[in-house]
């Protein structure tokens, strides 16, 4: 694809990169743009070439001279090598070796195995890193992941989320058409002990002792020992109902990984 020699501002290049990621037909959506002196050299999006990440798509359209001293805009933090012997070079490694001098990132990857590692690796290898402005980051976050906003869950469902550093806070909304919300937080992940802490307001959290599925629970208040947190292990079910809430959420921990957890939830009126 050939581009005119029009010069774009950094903000315009961020918007163009978002336009690329909106072309994706699968999640997570990722778009990339490579520019030099404000002039677009190439673009790419995840799925433009089957199985190829957006950054690689854009990089492979250019030669070494074109890439030298260029800036890469990408809506999602570049990936890092997950396995020592993986056959495909990570996007972070590709960027480092390409001659690109700066990477502008939309959002950091919420996948706990990648979160901040691509960002750190680029910095450690003398690649300047900056980020999209706040409004554009919010736009990227809403459109990148299949479930939308990573700090919000709605209705009932299943999600895998990172629990790294300070944990992950969530707003639990009853439904798309019902804005009632409960706040909770996953924290203190201990994969070696197969447990993670679920926190909410004081007295809001109960363990559904003895229950193995949501259908076993007919009244959340029959379970004793309300607390502000529950130390959850795999297959445990917790009930979160703050004192003034008119609904409650059931949460079952399905799996614990090194930096992530998988859980499912269900909303119920009280």
Rounded CA separation 104/240 (Å): 39
Strands 247-256 and 237-240: antiparallel
The 3-state DSSP class for residue 95 equals helix
Does residue 55 carry a catalytic annotation? yes
Q: Which residues of 148-170 are buried (b: 16+ CB within 10 A; e: fewer)?
A: eebeebbeeeebebbbbeebbeb
Q: Where are the beta strands (DSSP E) in the chain?
A: 31-36, 39-45, 71-76, 102-107, 128-131, 152-154, 157-162, 168-175, 178-190, 195-199, 205-207, 229-233, 237-240, 247-256, 260-269
Of 19, 26, 48, 55, the active-site residue reads 55
Q: Could you list the active site residues?
A: 55
């Amino acid at each position: 694809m050939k581009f005119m020699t029009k010069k774009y501002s950094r903000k315009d290049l961020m918007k163009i990169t978002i336009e690329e990621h909106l072309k994706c037909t699968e999640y997570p959506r990722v778009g990339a743009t490579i520019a030099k002196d404000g002039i677009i050299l190439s673009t790419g999006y995840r799925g433009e070439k089957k199985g190829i990440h957006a950054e690689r798509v854009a990089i492979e359209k250019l030669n070494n001279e074109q890439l030298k001293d260029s800036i890469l805009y990408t809506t999602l933090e570049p990936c890092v090598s997950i396995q020592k012997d993986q056959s495909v070079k990570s996007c972070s490694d590709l960027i480092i070796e390409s001659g690109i001098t700066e990477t502008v990132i939309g959002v950091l990857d919420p996948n706990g195995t990648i979160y901040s590692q691509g960002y750190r690796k680029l910095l450690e290898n003398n690649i300047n890193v900056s980020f999209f402005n706040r409004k554009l980051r919010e736009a990227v976050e809403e459109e990148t992941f299949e479930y939308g906003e990573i700090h919000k869950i709605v209705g009932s469902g299943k999600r895998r989320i990172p629990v790294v550093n300070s944990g992950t806070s969530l707003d639990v909304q009853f439904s798309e058409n019902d804005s009632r919300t409960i706040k909770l937080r996953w924290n203190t992940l201990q994969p070696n002990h197969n447990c993670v802490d679920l926190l909410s307001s004081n007295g809001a959290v109960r363990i559904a002792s003895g229950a193995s599925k949501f259908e076993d629970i007919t009244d959340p208040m029959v379970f004793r020992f309300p607390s502000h947190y529950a130390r959850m292990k795999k297959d445990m079910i917790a009930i979160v109902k703050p004192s003034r809430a008119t609904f409650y959420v059931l949460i079952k921990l399905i799996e614990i990984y090194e930096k992530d957890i998988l859980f499912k939830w269900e909303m119920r009126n009280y």
